């Protein structure tokens, strides 16, 4: 027996479907991801904290869930929306089904709604808050509640997903370059790729000061991805500002935005953001186009960057900034996920650039 569920948006739109995963209620900013696969990585990506993710591909869950493909220790999304959820996966790696996985971790989802119509709404009107409910509460009550929710703008969510204390990523053999990775919502595959590029990585909480990082004396500092509004991560901006010019810095996603803010640049909230595995980005230094994986709802204003910052990457879909570097500070960053593999390895060279900086090759 299926349980009725609703998705209520802050503009009053209501989608009726059936429960998928845990029975209950959840709220967050509703966004969409265009990836055809990778739902397990999406679910466990800390950058999705506070968000209800809609998958645009209609059939989700067909290859199930396994223990190896998680990007963090738990599901991070606030809720999950699919057109057709598969309850009987077929894959030799699968250890459970997607709905069982969601249920075990208390994640409320909804299926059997028109995700194409929902995606068109979010594209035309922008990402907006919503509530998924399979508890039977009246729609009028849910709408009142969702309209009282705060916007994603102004929210510091990095505090919610960062580690409690510093820890060492074990790899064999140990890397030559000593790297301090600041965890604003770091993914496991980033750590794997750093280790694969001769880095010995220690992960630090988001609130770690520049003084503590410098006392650790790394060869370089990695600024990770993460959720929420970069302007609200004031402690992170202060830390990055204190590291500039003292250690090579490589930032991605939220780390890219914090680097820009540390250089007195500005960020802004995008209408519906970039979330998917098919975003074309042009490298202005090589004139090559990379197919990239992205997950962000904020972006850097290129006109706000100082003269010392050189724009290096540009999004070919909507002409937004995707990367810059500051030779003066031995720092560079990109807005996308170079550790992901949609290209499949179009962006791996960025890790080599980081090790070259740490090795003194400018």
Active site residues per annotation? 253, 337, 339
Structure tokens at 272: 């519906």
Query: Cis peptide leading into 182, omega within 30 of 0?
Result: no
Structure tokens at 298: 């904020």
Query: Cis peptide leading into 344, omega within 30 of 0?
Result: yes
- β-strands 128-133, 4-9: how paired? antiparallel
User: What's the per-residue H, E or C state across 5-41?
Assistant: EEEEECCCCEEEEEECCECCEEEEEEEEECCCCCHHH
- β-strands 79-81, 167-168: how paired? unpaired
Q: What is the DSSP string of 281-329?
A: EEETTTTEEEEEEEEEEEEE-GGGS-TT-EEEEEETTT--EEEEEEGGG
The alpha carbons of the chain give a radius of gyration, in whole angstroms, of: 20
Q: How many residues does the chain have?
A: 362
């Amino acid at each position: 027996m299926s349980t009725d569920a609703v998705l209520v948006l802050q503009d009053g739109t209501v989608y009726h479907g059936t429960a998928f995963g845990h029975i209950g209620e959840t709220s967050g900013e509703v966004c969409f991801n265009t990836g055809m696969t990778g739902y397990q990585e999406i679910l466990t990506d800390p950058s999705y904290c506070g968000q209800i993710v809609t998958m645009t591909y209609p059939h989700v869950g067909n290859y199930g869930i396994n223990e190896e493909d998680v990007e963090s220790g738990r599901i991070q999304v606030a809720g999950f929306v699919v057109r057709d959820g598969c309850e009987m996966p077929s894959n030799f790696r699968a250890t459970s089904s997607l709905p069982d996985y969601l249920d075990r971790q208390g994640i409320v989802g909804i299926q059997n709604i028109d995700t194409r119509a929902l995606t068109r709404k979010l594209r035309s009107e922008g990402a907006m808050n919503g509530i998924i409910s399979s508890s039977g509460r009246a729609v009028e009550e849910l709408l009142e509640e969702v309209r009282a929710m705060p916007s994603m703008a102004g929210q510091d969510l990095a505090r919610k997903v960062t580690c409690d204390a510093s820890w060492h990523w074990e790899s064999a053999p140990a890397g030559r370059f000593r790297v301090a990775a600041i965890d604003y919502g770091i993914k496991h595959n980033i750590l794997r790729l750093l280790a694969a590029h001769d880095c010995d990585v220690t992960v630090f909480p988001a609130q770690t000061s520049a003084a503590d990082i410098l006392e650790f004396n790394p060869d370089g500092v990695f600024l990770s991805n993460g959720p929420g509004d970069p302007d609200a991560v004031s402690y992170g901006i202060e830390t990055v500002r204190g590291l500039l010019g003292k250690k090579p810095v490589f930032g991605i996603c939220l780390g890219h935005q914090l680097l820009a803010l540390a250089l007195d640049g500005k960020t802004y909230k995008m209408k519906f953001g970039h979330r998917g595995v098919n975003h074309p980005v042009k490298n202005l230094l090589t004139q090559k186009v990379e197919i990239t994986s992205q997950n962000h709802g904020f972006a850097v204003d290129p006109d706000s960057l100082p003269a010392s910052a050189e724009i290096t990457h540009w999004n070919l879909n909507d002409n937004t900034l995707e990367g810059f570097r500051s030779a003066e500070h031995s720092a560079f960053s990109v807005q996308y996920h170079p550790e992901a593999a949609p290209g499949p390895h179009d962006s791996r060279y960025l890790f080599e650039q980081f090790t070259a900086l740490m090795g003194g090759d400018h």
